[in-house]
Amino acid sequence: MSVEANGRNLDALVGLPPVLDACCGARQMWFDKHDERALYVDIRVEDLTYLNGQRKEYAIHVAPDRVADFTNLPFPSDTFALVVFDPPHLMEKSRGGHMAKKYGTLPHDWRDMLRKGLSECFRVLRPEGVLVFKWSSHHIPLGDVTALTPHKPLFGNRKPNLTKTHWLLYMKPNSVLDVTCGNGVRR
């Protein structure tokens, strides 16, 4: 028997949690790295060891729930209530350093890759769902990245500290409700 709602087959959604981390890496931002409300996706599975700034050995375990490329997510459209997108932000030239090992690197055609990634994140996001986008502007300014999507952020930290890490929150429009009311307010 098939699960349906509003004429839509929901079989592919059964069992999926409401949150997607589209590029989880070692899940370092998560308080609970195994939170059952989230599905963790990454293109890589690996265990890495490197020396941190204090010359102590540090291990990183990248073990997504599902191996997938954020530019081609294997989920139906309008699936998740919240999507977390923390893509690599370092250029390929940084490939040998511990930060590159930890977070991955961007290819030469990073604009195309991030444009596709943002598009996919919005595709799998439910209408009125929230996209949490994390970006470090050490190599590429935030404005160069936000220009890759037609969506505008709701809010975020406007003046990041020395880490240059930005957090932006977007809300996917609901095309059914996205109309201008008589008082000029968009809903």
Per residue, the 3-state secondary structure of the chain, as one string, reads: CCCEECCEECHHHCCCCCEEECCCCCCCCCCCCCCCCEEEEECCCEEEEEECCCCCEEEEEECCCEECCCCCCCCCCCCEEEEEECCCCEEHHHCCCHHHHHHCEECCCHHHHHHHHHHHHHHHEEEEEEEEEEEECCCCCHHHHHCCCCCCCCEECCCCCCCCEEEEEEECCCCCCCCECCCCCEC
Q: Give residue 8's pLDDT.
A: 61
Q: Give residue 39's pLDDT.
A: 98
Q: What is the pLDDT along the chain (187 residues), one digit of tens a residue?
A: 555 656 665 555 668 999 999 999 999 999 999 999 999 999 999 998 877 667 778 888 999 999 999 999 999 999 999 999 999 998 876 556 777 778 888 999 999 999 999 999 999 999 999 999 999 998 899 999 999 999 999 999 877 777 788 888 899 998 765 544 455 555 4
Cβ burial, residue 49 (10 Å; 0-12/13-18/19+): exposed
pTM of this prediction? 0.83
**What domains are defined for the chain?**
17-171 (3.40.50.150)
Q: Give residue 92's pLDDT.
A: 74
How is residue 93 written in tokens? Answer: 């030239």
Q: Give residue 164's pLDDT.
A: 83
Q: Give residue 9's pLDDT.
A: 57
Residue with the two structure tokens 């986008």: 133
- Residues paired with residue 156 on neighbouring β-strands, in sequence order: 168
Q: Are 108 and 62 in contact (CB under 8 A)?
A: no
Q: Give residue 169's pLDDT.
A: 87
